[in-house]
Each structure stands twice: as C-alpha cells, then as structure tokens.
Structure 1
C-alpha cells in the first residue's frame, strides 16, 4: 500500500496516483495522511488527524447550529477506482429530515499531484443551510523555511506565517480571505523556499460564487485550511452541491510556479475570453497612458498640475480625481453633485485639460451611502441596503473626523443600479469627465434581504449585478468619446467589466508598515495580458485633508514635503510598478516638486518614457520567471503614513528595513520576444552579468540583444547557439529594458 505501515493500512483507505497519496480513516472519514512522493513527505501531523473534513452551519430560529461528521450515526465509503473515493455520512439524530446526508467525493488527477474535492448535502428542504465548510484540511505541519503566498488583491507573500499568526491577539489565530473580493484569484500556496516544494490549494469555480478561504493556527503549531461555501437560503432544491470543486495538492517550485499552474486554468475561463482589454474594448487613449496623477480637491489642485506634467513628459497623462464632489469624503456619499467648485468652473477646467491631452476620471464609491445624508432618509435608501442573516445593515465608520457612517448598498436591487447609473451619466455627459473610478468595485457581499429579488445569502448574484450595472452605465456613454470605468483592486471575475484596475500594494509599506507581508505581482503573473493595472500611494508630500472636514483637525502645513530620507521609498515604489507591468502613478503631485524633488520627479518621468517605449512587454506581455541575479540590498527609511492627514497631526511614522536596490521583471511579447525591465534605485553602478539558455524562454537559438531606454533602442550584442550572455553596467538610478529578439 504505497509504503504505509500495516497499522495504517488497517485504519485507512488509500487513494494513490504515484504523485500523491491520501489516506482516510475507515471509521470516521478523517484525512490522516497526505503524502508527496517526490519528497517522501507527509504534510499532516499524525498526532492531529481526527478533525472533521466538513462543518455545516444550520440557520435555526434560536441561532446558528454547527454540525460536523461526528454528528452522523453512520459512515461508509466507496472506492470507485484507485484514484476516486466517495465518503458518505448519514443518520443524523439531531436533524428531523431522515434523508439528510453528506457525501464527499475525492478524486486524484491522473498525471498531476493534485486532487479534486466535491461535497453534496442532501435532504435540506426542511433545513436551512447557511454555510458549508469544505474541505477542512487540518494538522498541516511546518514544512520548514516556510513561505505563504496569497493573491490578496495583487498578491502578497509572508515568510514564517506561523510566527505571525501566533502573534494575533484573541483565541483564534486566523487569516481569512473573501472571494470574489480582496482575494483576486482562487488559490494559495504554502511552500519550503529552499527545497522548492509545497502545498497548493485552490477552487475551480468558473462562475465566481461567494466563498471564503482561511488558514488557522492551532495550539500544536499546525495549520488548518478551510473553504467556506455559502448556499442560498431560499433554494427549492433538496440538495446543495457547489458547482465547483476544491483542488488540493502539492507542487514543485515557488509562488511563480503556482501562478503558472493557475494560469493554465484561469486563462481558459470566461472572464479571460471576455476581458475588455484582451478584446480591444478599452479606449486606446487609456492603453497609451504614460503616467497617472492621483490628486484631490478642486481643479486648480488637480488638473492644472496634471497639465504641467503632460508638458514636461510630452506623453499622455491621466488624472485619478478624488474630492471633486460637493459632499464630504467618506460620509456624504452619494451626494456627489454638483462639484464643490461649481458646475461652470468644473466644466471649464475639464475642457481645458482635455485640449491639452489630459483626461480625468472621477471618484464615486459604487456601493456606499451616508446614513446621515438627507438623501438617505428622503429616498428610503435603507430598504435597498445589504442585510446580514439577522437583518442588520453593513454599516461602517470610515471617517474619523466627522464620525458619520457609510452603509453598503445591495447591487442586487434595481434601485441602486439606477441611482449609480444616473450619477455616472451626469458626470460624463453633463460634467464632461472621461469616466468613473468605482471605489470598492472588486468586492462582493452576502445579502439576506428577501425583498431585493436576488437569491438569499450565498450565490454569485453580486457579480452578475455588477455586470448589469456596468452595462447599464455604458449605455449612457457617448459613442464619440473615450470614456472608461476603473475600479478598486483587481480580480479575475471583474476582467469583463472594468477597463482599469487600481493596485496599490507596490506601496503597501506606506499604508501597512512592516506587517510581515511583502507584495508580489501574483495577479500580473497570471492575468497581465488581460488587465490594465495602475496605481501607487507613492508621494513626496504629507497626506492631504478634505477641506469639507472639520477645520479643527486640519494640518497647519498642508502638503508639506516629506523628509528627504524617504525619497528612496518613492523610487522603490515606482521601480516596483515599472518592472511589474503597471501604468505608473504619482500621488499628490504639485509643481513645486519638480524643483524641490527634482531627482525623484526626473526618475518618474524617465521611467514613464522607458515604459512607453516597451509597451509590447510592459502592457501586453506575459509574465515570465526572471533569471537569477545577485542583487545588493540597503537598509531604507520607510514612511508609514495615513492615507489622509491624521486626527492628531502626527501622520508620519517610520521604520527601517532592508530592500533590494535593483528591481527587475521579465516579460514575453506576443511575437515571442523577451523584455527584462530593470530599474535601479542605487546610488552606485551595478554590473549586470547573467546567462540565459534560449530554450528556457522558447527563443530562437540565435538573435540579438538591445537596450531600450527613454531615448529608444540601442544594440548591445548578438547571441548564437542558444547561449545568451548579458553583460553591461546599469548606471546609478538607470531604467531600461533588456530586449532579446530574433
């Protein structure tokens, strides 16, 4: 039995495909071992292997009741073949319906170290099931030299995740991610960095049903992985079985290997085929954007500086415009109109900017309503808000200055879709903007309000209604003008509906500090050719303060320069975005920075020009694993700042941490050429010296190597017989693309 001890054989039933082996207890169905053959490694702690494979939350008048496999009086299994096992639990004494039964089907892939997990809960007509947690993989041992990679928005990686989990206050030491939402793809990886192997977990849900993924640390320092699935409470069917499977397996490599594995599946899904960018539906002016300016306030503080940037750069500049609206930010939504500077001033400024080639999208949160606004009462908005299972609204206090709350509106209601569409219609057609930034776009919620007309609780109605909303909005857009929709975060499920995605983790230290996570271009590694990403908190001044907030909290020196010791942080954030394929962005730009932070602004402008000369790679290219280089590090001073001015005036704190001084990312173009983007933030030159085998990238055995910079393309050398040797000096703060072509 594939190397199992006799006692294990007696207690377990095994499925085995020569890549991995799963063993289940014959009396309970518990997963007791999970073996990787290549490394002869059991991922599970043999001392902690009796946990239930599933848990079910039942909604009862008295509250939620949770059952697991121990509630079943009977368990049996069927082994269909060497790769497939069916586990069945029935005869639940605590459930009146005698037909209530839970069936789990686990099947190994024929030629891969992966398994699929499917659950069915039958006999639920008289039982309201609010949540099905499956699979539950408990007792996951420390793999050693451990890294956790999760597609939280763009993507994050953590070293020694158990150490960080153990520091969480409270009884439960848990990380949890919602999909579709802040978890942009349905996968995660836990791996040994040195030995380059690990545990892979995902779902193959092509319809984007709402679910949660989690990792929990127990008292024995073992991890438990769970997927929480949400049925609809108003289902007429007598069975709940998700329309997707969970995938559990092992893999060789690191997070890039996982991205490649997931891309094989994700690129074949509907959202990839219907991607607006991939299908040429995004405006060409958006694709040609060389630089974004993210400013706040009236037009003279937003559009005028952008026009100055456009003149310096001599390439297209887009504006991402907050605080243009008549209401106070983060409490007065959706009373955006008229603009705070008045209609005529706003329209005149927009017309002037567009004549200079500067286009602007304006901020409008696509799901929040201020509970203390007049419109909240007058339009009976509460009736159309998201409700939880107990009928409570999802109300949150974002604004610490006014202490006024926002409440989440339900996209499943036609009322809210009509309300938001009318606002988009006005800002584009009456106020002449180039589109809308839909804040909190790539989120989803469970709503239990029976009057809204959508399935109650779980399902995929949120995304379906977002699709209807954007379709409805676009019907109002003029046909002869470039107009587009952008949204917060990234998500595979939103690829068919948004033109651009705001991705801010390139500057996550600025808002999260040193919290153990570091950004990785996980989403770009999978979906870069399907999505335009932009965004950066990268700023050279202290955060702004909304003039409509209470005067007593306003900073005495608004938009004061940040200490020059943080300048390299600015460069690092820009370098990351460049090599990871983003459209560059600067936050809080003002004309005085071109003189007082001349070197940093010069770096940004040069970076934008280099990127513009390499769009076949950095806009359209596929992410590839980069060749290894020995990169110098330096301890940098990092600012952690509030997104806005702080209530006490102390908005800036700092820490020091070691970071690379050279950033690079490798991209493959549609015509089978390679571009290696490189950005130095070092004060010293760096000797670039590495070798590539052309076969590793599917290149021709002979060709040439060029250097693309702000001035264009320069021949460096040629290569032959498949041996590519790159050898040149990257000067201090130089930005370029190494092009390997036929």
Structure 2
C-alpha cells in the first residue's frame, strides 16, 4: 500500500532568513519579529515559535507546548469517518527546503494511501498557513474537517483576546470557543500577550466569511477548525481558500492594550485591497436615514429573556400608551432627538380571537394580519401616531432564520425543501445520497424549527414579502430581522439548494440576496433600514443596525471569571456599522450608580442607548425586565434625566460615532472599581473617539457615582495617529500645544456627581 504523505509548505515573502537544505532534520525560519524552529525528532515538527516585541527588539518570548497537536484531520470514505493527526506514532517526518521562500515538512503514514499537504504563505508581519490535501486517483476519500493549532504555553500573567461580539479579554488561562460567523466569534482574530513580554496574533485571514471554528483552550493552543468547501465529497485535491496567520505582538501597555495591537493587524488585513466583501458599500453614514442616525435612545415593547412575553405588550393601544408616557416624560426633560422602538408581539395571525394569536417564537415566517386592540387601534395607526406626535420610529420583529415545522407555510409550501440539511452519518458524499436529516431547534415556545437556507429563492422571497407588507402596508419605519448576525452559519449538504456542499460563500451570498430582494421591494436603506441581532462582521453591508446584546453581558472593569468587554469591533470597523441596545433589568434600579454605568458603557462605545423593555412578566430565573412603572415612578426622575442627558450628549458627538473609530480609553487616576449588582465597574468611565480623518480627538468622561470626582487623566496622542511635532488645540482654549513626548496630562479634572464631560482636541491646520 502506498505511504500517506503529509506535507507542510511554508512560503515566506519579505525579509526572511532560512537555515535549511533538502532533507534536513532541523531548520530555523526567521522574519524580523518571528523565529520558527523545526525539528523532525518532535512529533509536531514545529517545535517552538519565538516572538520579538515589534516595539522593543530586546524583548523576546518563546511559545512551545509538546502536548499540543499541530493538526488533526477528519477524513471520510464510503462507509465511515477516521482521523489522522500530527502526533501519529507511525508517521515518518522529514523536512525539505526547496527554495529560499519555501519550506516543506512531511509526515508519511505507511498504512494509508492518501497524500495530505499544508501550504503556508506569508508577508511581513504575517506568516500564513494554508492547508491542502491530495488523494490518489484510485481511492475515494473526502475531508470532513481540518483543524490547525498554534501551540501555546500561557501563564497567569498573560491576557488573551477573543472576538466575542465587541471583543473580550481575560486571563490567559481562560478558554474560549466560537463558531464564525456568529455573535460568539464576530471577527476572526485571537491573541495572547502580557505586560512583561511580547505575544502572538492568530487569525483566519478569510475575506469571504466562510464557516470556521475559532478556539483557545487556556493551556495548550489556539486552533482554527476548517470545514472545506465541498466537505465529504470525493475530490482528488483540496486547498483551503484562506490562511491561518500568525504575527508577533508587543507587550501590553495602557496606551497599547492587547485588543488594539491585535486588531491593528486584523484591520490591516481586512482593509487591504481587495478589501473584505462586507466593506463593499463603504461607510455607514451614506446608508442611514436621518431618523436612524439620530435615534440616540431605543425602547422595546417588552423583551423578556427565555422568550416568554407579557401578553398585552404588543397590543397597539397598550404599546402606544406606554410609549406616549415614557417618551413624553423624556421630551419634558429635554430630549430633542428621535427614539427607536423595537416592536414585539405585533402579530395576530388569521384568527382574530385573542386566544388564537400567534405568540412569539411560533408560526415563523407567518405573521399577518397584525393585532387590533379592543379599542380598534391597529398596528399601522400606532406606528403612524407615535411617529408623527413623538418622533418615535417603529421596527417590528420578524425572524430571518428559522422555519416553524407546524406553520401554514411550511405545510403548504414543502417547507422541508427549504431547510438546511446535514448527513445522518459522516461518510463520503454522493449526489444521489438521501441519507440527510433536518436539524431542528426549540426555544421552549412549543414548535420545533428548522434553519431555513438563505440561499433558497423561496426564503429570500418569503422574508422580502413580509418586510414589504410591514413597510408599505403597516407603516413601519424599518424592520428588525432576528438572528441573522447572531446565530452561526449552518453547514448544508443538500445538493438541491444549488450551492457548494457544506461550506462556502453561499451563506453570506444567500443573505445578501435576501436583503437585496427586500430593498428591491421597499426601496433603499435610507427609506427602510433593516436591523438585526448581534454584530457578526459579514452582515455589515446588509443591515443598518446591530443589536449587540451579548457584548454588554460583560463588564468593563472585572468579573468573577475575569472577562471584560473591550471595544475591538469599533476599533476595527468604526465608521462602517451602527449599533444599538443592551439588556436592562428592574434590579438595575436598586443600584442607580451601577445602572448609570451600563448607560455610560453604551455611550463610550458609540452604541445607541437603551433598548429598555416597557412590558414584562415575573421571571425570577431570568430577572424581571419590564421597566414602564419604574420609568414613571417619580423616585426615578434622576434616572430619566441621566438618559436624556446621555442622549443629548450623544447627539453632539454623533459624527464621531458614525464616522470615526474608538481608540483605547484613557485611565482616570484614581478611578476606583465599585462592586455593582452583577459586576464591578469604574466610577469614572472614559471613552476616546478619533474623527474620520484623524484631525480631532474627543474624550468622554462619565462620572457614574453619587459624589464629585477629582482625578488625573493621561492622554497619549501618538496612540491616535498624531505625530511628534503636530500642533493642536483643546476646545475652549486658544493655547496651542505640541505633541512632543507623545503625552499630555490633564491634571485635576473635576467632574460633578453623575456628570458627563467632553474634552475635544483638534489639530491646528
């Protein structure tokens, strides 16, 4: 039987030194900031990675872990699935260097008849790794998954970055995993570093948005799991369409935190021409109607976690009364800007009997007709009234992803033909294979749902027609289409859907087709903006608003598990997206400074404030979320005023939030951490935004405490792209300052209790 050959090709372009020749047992591969050591006496061959701090050539660190497995491959044949990996004891390992820009490491498996190769391409500062496999002509094999790992040996001094929603940092010994694209992995880069030495950047460099799993186990490695385009199909050869890339990172400092140094590299890749597909429509400012640009506060009629809702919250007359009361109060307190309203439970269904109403998470994608109140108020009348009298814009809820297996449309239209399908057992794919099953989901609301395939014309037309009716017949200002940017891409193996089997660009292209159909029917996004849940990057060109609830489920200061929210997403994509909303609870009103900290967290990240639930039910496990009575309680007038003040300040800074980028937040000293209801928070929260062309810097200072605060603020203007010798002014002063050492200190800041201060700096032209 022929030997199995596993080959690693390392192609390095740039300033490179390679010490190797043909059939060597050891060699070293160097770039200015990375040194890779290879040794065939080790099972992984790649024995260590040395990182040199790009800002300090004297600072180095070696990453190595013999417990890690460099790669693992799931292969299918006609009857089953089997696995091979880099640590197989029967494999023979050799090294070959054929040119100064290419190195090959080979694993030979004597009991198999398959040749597997990994191709690595690189350009400074990256070393890129691309897997490929070749099967012999006389053997029918396919690939199910390919997992590539980057060995690590973390310590408790390390911090790790993972792209969960806006971004999260934690202890280097905490693990993370998420499937991309989804809320759990909104971008594709990970990183590790410390304040005492350099680190490593690990990313999937994919500009098309295919499915992958990103992970860090907290002890041995980062990994990227790839499902090939055409997975499980018999193929003579396969090569991944993108690389897994590594680069050196500097040690962590206050002005250059881990998320920033890693995200700078990721942004460099994403924006390099040809840029990622989701950047094709350019900056978000050109796609938003004025009312959405300026909706600095959001309400919802009655979101409740666990998806169990108050029955009356979507009744048009009830919703109108609550909106009129709360927004009317805010208007009296000085709010001048539009308000967004996320409208749940507006749907009735064909039977007008209230007991037969289509409840939340049932009957999707069937909704119509809408509810009519006992007073005769309709959904359309409600939307029209609050828009004309209160400048409130409604976005009814629909779901863009799941299909109720018991609904009328599913039964009448052969719904199963639209569903995503997966193999009942993993084996070699055949176009005549009928051994496929429909995965289902259940949300506790009764019915099971399949995942509708967005590449099907049926689903694109169905969602398009639903949106058209809501906008053109019901007077909606836009539509909230749930789950699109939150849930993971689902692999599909149904050949009748006319897309590549399993993975590929079809998922993103399918949703792109759905949104194109929507705007063909209702006009462009300035007429009818679409918004969705969470902030996965690949949907950026399709929607005009992200609802990043999972981002704000993490603290800014610290938590019991060490996770903190970091604004990596706004650093990479500031100017290219719009976001609104976080979850608020009745319990928040028992700790007002903590409640202010949640509002301030939204303000400093450029997120439209609120998404406050008006209705709700008693749910001890979830936490009660209906806030209408609390807003109307005179004891909470100060809370309402804080919301109004935050909205008005956001209005003054909206150009920064829509066109600029967020940079690392300066640290107020002292700024004690306060124990809040769910986690600690800083009593002075700060945020820094840089204008579109980097000519202005704005710093927000939010004192969420009940007492005045005095502190020192240190700003490093070189962090924001300004250069030594640049001259600038501070708003309100004629004095001209010069960037020399890169730092300016603003001493003895004094921010009154609950105050929000804004510092503006502008280059002198």
Q: The TM-score by the shorter chain falls in which range?
A: 0.7 to 0.9
CA distance in 2, matches of 1:405, 1:256: 42
Secondary structure, counterpart of 1:578 in structure 2:
helix
**1:282 maps to what in 2?**
288
**Structure 1 residue 302, shift from structure 2 partner:** 3.5
Deviations 1:644-701 (A, max 9, x none): xxxxxxxxxxx5x432111111111125110012212111212243344655541774
Q: Which of 21, 29, 46 is the aligned partner of 1:31?
A: 46
CA distance in 2, matches of 1:121, 1:72: 19
Deviations 1:330-377 (A, max 9, x none): 233222211233696111111112213221111111011222334332
**2:416 maps to what in 1?**
382
CA distance in 2, matches of 1:338, 1:445: 31
**1:246 maps to what in 2?**
244
CA distance in 1, matches of 2:229, 2:561: 34
The answer to whether the Cα contact below 8 Å between 1:702 and 1:719 also exists between their aligned partners in 2 is: yes
Q: Which of 691, 694, 710 is the aligned partner of 1:687?
A: 710
CA distance in 2, matches of 1:79, 1:567: 65
**1:674 maps to what in 2?**
697
CA distance in 1, matches of 2:526, 2:150: 52
CA distance in 1, matches of 2:278, 2:739: 33
**1:554 maps to what in 2?**
none
The answer to whether the Cα contact below 8 Å between 2:201 and 2:246 also exists between their aligned partners in 1 is: yes
Secondary structure, counterpart of 1:626 in structure 2:
coil
Q: Which of 356, 359, 363 is the aligned partner of 1:332?
A: 363
Q: How does 1:63-462 map to 2 (within 5 A)?
A: 63-69=80-86, 70=88, 75-81=93-99, 84-89=102-107, 93-95=111-113, 100-107=114-121, 109-110=123-124, 112=125, 114-123=126-135, 127-138=140-151, 140-162=152-174, 165=175, 175-179=177-181, 182-192=184-194, 194-195=195-196, 197-216=198-217, 221-233=219-231, 238-252=236-250, 253=252, 254-268=258-272, 269-271=275-277, 273-275=279-281, 277-278=283-284, 280-296=286-302, 297-307=314-324, 308-309=326-327, 311-312=331-332, 313-326=335-348, 327-341=358-372, 345-356=378-389, 357-390=391-424, 391-399=436-444, 402-442=445-485, 443-462=488-507
Q: 1:83/1:279 Cα in 2 relative to 1: closer, same or farther (>3 Å)? A: farther
Q: 1:702/1:479 Cα in 2 relative to 1: closer, same or farther (>3 Å)? A: closer
**2:27 maps to what in 1?**
13
TM-score (norm 2): 0.80
Secondary structure, counterpart of 2:382 in structure 1:
helix
The answer to whether the Cα contact below 8 Å between 2:149 and 2:221 also exists between their aligned partners in 1 is: no
CA distance in 2, matches of 1:464, 1:607: 38
The answer to whether the Cα contact below 8 Å between 2:316 and 2:371 also exists between their aligned partners in 1 is: no
Deviations 1:140-166 (A, max 9, x none): 21244122211112212222434xx5x
Q: 1:586/1:224 Cα in 2 relative to 1: closer, same or farther (>3 Å)? A: closer
Q: How does 1:693-708 map to 2 (within 5 A)?
A: 694-697=717-720, 698=722, 701-706=726-731
Q: Which of 479, 492, 516 is the aligned partner of 2:537?
A: 492
Q: 1:4/1:597 Cα in 2 relative to 1: closer, same or farther (>3 Å)? A: same
**Structure 1 residue 381, shift from structure 2 partner:** 1.1
The answer to whether the Cα contact below 8 Å between 2:77 and 2:142 also exists between their aligned partners in 1 is: no
The answer to whether the Cα contact below 8 Å between 2:24 and 2:94 also exists between their aligned partners in 1 is: no
Bigger relative contact order, structure 1 or 2 (CA pairs below 8 A, ≥6 apart): 2
**1:648 maps to what in 2?**
none
The answer to whether the Cα contact below 8 Å between 1:537 and 1:586 also exists between their aligned partners in 2 is: yes
Secondary structure, counterpart of 1:421 in structure 2:
helix
CA distance in 2, matches of 1:375, 1:216: 43
CA distance in 2, matches of 1:563, 1:152: 24
Say whether residues 1:718 and 2:725 are aligned partners: no
Q: 1:410/1:272 Cα in 2 relative to 1: closer, same or farther (>3 Å)? A: closer
* Stretches of structure 1 lacking an aligned partner (at least 5 in a row): 166-173, 542-561, 639-654, 707-714
Q: 1:629/1:197 Cα in 2 relative to 1: closer, same or farther (>3 Å)? A: farther
Q: How does 1:468-487 map to 2 (within 5 A)?
A: 468-478=513-523, 482-487=527-532
* Stretches of structure 2 lacking an aligned partner (at least 5 in a row): 1-15, 54-58, 253-257, 303-313, 349-357, 425-435, 615-627
CA distance in 2, matches of 1:301, 1:239: 62
**Structure 1 residue 436, shift from structure 2 partner:** 1.3
**Structure 1 residue 287, shift from structure 2 partner:** 1.2
Shifted more, 373-382 versus 361-370: the winner is: 373-382
**2:761 maps to what in 1?**
740
Question: What CA RMSD, in Å, does the superposition of the two structures yield over aligned residues?
Answer: 3.1
**Structure 1 residue 241, shift from structure 2 partner:** 0.7
**Structure 1 residue 115, shift from structure 2 partner:** 1.2
Deviations 1:34-87 (A, max 9, x none): 112443322113x536x3x32222233433222234398665443245554223
The answer to whether the Cα contact below 8 Å between 2:150 and 2:222 also exists between their aligned partners in 1 is: yes
CA distance in 2, matches of 1:124, 1:367: 40
CA distance in 1, matches of 2:17, 2:728: 50
Secondary structure, counterpart of 2:217 in structure 1:
strand
Say whether residues 1:525 and 2:571 are aligned partners: yes
TM-score (norm 1): 0.83
Secondary structure, counterpart of 1:475 in structure 2:
helix
**Structure 1 residue 453, shift from structure 2 partner:** 1.6
Secondary structure, counterpart of 2:161 in structure 1:
strand
Q: 1:24/1:176 Cα in 2 relative to 1: closer, same or farther (>3 Å)? A: farther
